Amino acid sequence: MDLSLYKAKPDKTIREHTDELLKNLDILQKLNYVKSQYIYELTKIACEYHDYGKVNREFQKRIVSNTKFDENAEVAHNVLSLYFIDKNEFENIEDYYKVGFAVLNHHNYCDNLGTIENQQCKELIKSLLSDFKVNTIKRSTTTNLKKITKNYDAILIKGFLHKCDYSASGDIPVEYENDFLNQGLDNLLKKWKVENDDANWNELQQFCRENTNKNIVVVAQTGMGKTEAGLHWIGNNKGFFILPLKTAINSIYERIKEDILEENDIKTKLALLHSDSLSYYSSNKNEEMDIMDYYNQSRKLSMPLNISTLDQLFDFVFKYQGYELKLATLSYSKIVIDEIQMYGADLLAYLIYGIKTINKFGGKVAILTATLAPFIKDKFKGGENPIEFEEKTFINDMKRHNVKIYDSQIDADLIYSKFEENKIKGISNKILVVCNTVKKAQQIYKELLKRKVSNLNILHSKFIKCERADKESKILKFGKTKNIGTGIWISTQIVEASLDIDFDYLFTELSDISGLFQRLGRCNRKGEKSVDEPNCFVFLSIDNNLLTNGDKGFIDSKIYSLSKDAMKDVNGVLTEKDKVNIINKYLTTENLKGSDYEFKYSKFSKWIGEIEPYEIDKEDINLRNIISYDVIPKQVYEEHQHEIDENSRKLLKTVTKKLDKAELDKVKLEKINLKEEIKKYTVPVGRYDIYFNGKSAIIKKIQLSKNEFINVVDCKYNELGFIRLTSEEVTGIEENFDNFL
């Protein structure tokens, strides 16, 4: 059939579009991303046939008239395309099913197999294809197409078809080659050598470079250069760096951009993948960069090097329609997981299932972490699709922490006494206080405020976005190793991982020993300060309502109890080796038996493994399993009402004239910027912060688009951040639902 006679789009024939897919596939093969010639050949056939169904008269008429799809007159083109594939042209009937599955399901406008089997649709299909030589599809064919959804080859073929098709349709390169990272790292070392002739890659970084073709697990103490180590392991390959917090992701993105890539061709080399990446691009753009193009290339996973949150990649574990694209991309990628201990039981279950799946399909994984519990290693090595890792621990004799234990609750008086004592001594007096909940952080802040502490600050998740960003910038500046200062920062779990801060003293509650050792890493990070006297003060007692008990609490009771036992006898200098030994002794699979954590992990692991392909819609996925709402506090709205209302009005303004791509992109970017100008006044809150006892604290809705709103909520908001209405003001609030970030 001469496909150049039929349109795929108003400005492109089916032949032209198909050739673009085939070109994309050849690029993937040239880069050695399609590892098997067999997969390449079958994907090539799928690419060729994927849009044959568009030759039908109704589709061609619709392209010319620019009208909408009419399900009474037309059938989805992906369904019709299947009829053009002749099973007799395949040496193996299984190969036909693999290709047919990919072509049939490369869109999900309808129930694809159901449409083929529906008698009424059969007549319409026959009519639409009457002018062409097509093949009969028997019941046995549809039965076999249903069976093949979990087939390894079929998944890859469909994934590569999606990747080639989406890139061609979006006019986006299917992949950029990574031919720069090794050189960039070499250049970085040269810069270091200018300042210090003895500078070289350390043992950790050399290990990662030498084991670049293996899955690795590395436990390395804070400050050893895990980021550079991970980049060495990725080398000149497609790579993803996964971190738990957006702040840390943005920081590493900037470091790589400036120190390794030296701002050179960023838009073809490095991507940022998290829920706010577009607004980050927009606020940090240079004049020459087309932000929408850069963003679209990032979203389509075309970039060689990607810094990402877990949810941007690992949602493929839910097997929604089209998940194969991500899995196919990850099949030729190298994935670095940083600080795996930061994830709760549910996210860990998704992560381990995802890593095992990626490894099965050919991808490689590196786990780089400051602490790794034995039970997590056991999860990787056991069950279905176990993984073999090259393992190594990197610790030195550096003494960074002299720990004093209190078998009591965290005490503002002790913090204040230490602060005043240091002032009298005239020594650097940067104190970090880490609490398990926002509520406790606010309480300690209020108590220290009464004592008129100079330079007192608080940081947690319940500040509006613009204030939190400002606070994060300030704590990073204040917490630099070389900065000698006086002040107290009170925070929560958000400072545990990947924030490059270095305080002189730490006061912290206990939650679990993994988290505790992460918190210790924010104090005397480089080990350049004396440990002759205690610099870390750990309070073992916490509020009982935070411990898991049925549906209540969020700190695992058993892990907390084990952690408390582990720390009771600690007194004085705690070496890096001590920390590793404590983790290895207490957080074993045997010790965690019967814990809420183990129960929850097993439940989610079983559930995710039993999900059938396409059972879950992508829109219904909530990887983080958190029901949270971005709201504007009433007081903040009143202070910025004119600005917020005006931006809402501009967002709802309709465009009447027809726009070309450049104009459309400009309008999209303007709307995104307007939304961000409103969203900077939002704070994330839980359901029980705004809904209680049949009542709602919502007083107004700010409209962003036809179906998108932000609620204005009656609450308290001040220098402490968001404070929900108290039980005295509104009865029925459950005190257990305290935010721990």
The pLDDT score that the predictor gives to residue 661 is 78
Structure-model confidence comparison of residues 571 and 729, the more confident one: 571
What kind of fold does domain 181-393 have according to CATH? Rossmann fold (3.40.50)
Q: How far is CA 31 from CA 20, 238, 292, 325, 333, in A?
A: 17, 10, 26, 17, 12
The pLDDT score that the predictor gives to residue 218 is 96
Q: What is the pLDDT of residues 150-191, one digit of tens each?
A: 999 999 999 999 999 999 999 999 999 999 999 999 999 999
- pLDDT confidence bin for 669, thresholds 50/70/90: confident
Structure-model confidence comparison of residues 203 and 690, the more confident one: 203
Query: What are the backbone dihedrals phi and psi of residue 149, each rounded to the nearest 5 degrees, phi first?
Result: -60, -25
pLDDT at 623 over 80: no
Mean pLDDT of 601-623: 90
Domain boundaries, the chain: 3-169, 181-393, 401-574, 628-723
- pLDDT confidence bin for 387, thresholds 50/70/90: very high
Q: What is the pLDDT of residues 545-580, one digit of tens each?
A: 999 887 788 999 999 999 999 999 899 999 999 999
CA dist., res. 678 & res. 671, Å (int):
11
Mean pLDDT of 451-459: 94
pLDDT at 737 over 50: no
Mean pLDDT of 603-628: 84
pLDDT at 392 over 50: yes
- Provide DSSP, 46-111: HHHHTTGGGGSHHHHHHHHHT----TTT---HHHHHHTT--GGG-SSHHHHHHHHHHHHTS--SS-
pLDDT at 729 over 80: no
pLDDT at 738 over 60: no
The pLDDT score that the predictor gives to residue 618 is 85
Q: What is the pLDDT of residues 86-113, one digit of tens each?
A: 999 999 999 999 999 999 999 998 899 9
User: What superfamily would CATH give domain 401-574?
Assistant: P-loop containing nucleotide triphosphate hydrolases (3.40.50.300)
Beta pairing partners, 337: 242, 367
Q: What is the pLDDT of residues 701-712, one digit of tens each?
A: 999 998 899 999
What kind of fold does domain 3-169 have according to CATH? Hypothetical protein af1432 (1.10.3210)
What is the chain's mean pLDDT, rounded?
92
The pLDDT score that the predictor gives to residue 498 is 57
CA dist., res. 181 & res. 87, Å (int):
45
The pLDDT score that the predictor gives to residue 627 is 60
The pLDDT score that the predictor gives to residue 482 is 87
Structure-model confidence comparison of residues 263 and 212, the more confident one: 212
pLDDT at 740 over 60: no
Asked if 647 and 704 count as a contact pair (C-beta separation under 8 A), the reply is no
The pLDDT score that the predictor gives to residue 731 is 39
pLDDT at 736 over 50: no
- Range in 70-74, 284-288, 448-452 the model is least confident about: 284-288
CA dist., res. 414 & res. 444, Å (int):
11
Domains 3-169 and 401-574 agree in fold? no
Contacts of 426 (CB under 8 A, 6+ apart): none
- pLDDT confidence bin for 288, thresholds 50/70/90: low
Mean pLDDT of 420-431: 95
The pLDDT score that the predictor gives to residue 662 is 81
Mean pLDDT of 617-622: 81
Query: What are the start-end ranges of the E strands in 301-458?
Result: 305-308, 334-338, 364-369, 390-394, 401-406, 429-434, 456-458
The candidate with the shortest Cα–Cα distance to 591, out of 604, 578, 582, 603, is 582
Q: What is the pLDDT of residues 205-244, one digit of tens each?
A: 999 999 999 999 999 987 789 999 999 999 999 999 999 8
pLDDT at 626 over 70: no
Tokens of 196: 């210090």
Q: What is the pTM of this model?
A: 0.92
- pLDDT confidence bin for 539, thresholds 50/70/90: very high
Asked if 164 and 25 count as a contact pair (C-beta separation under 8 A), the reply is yes
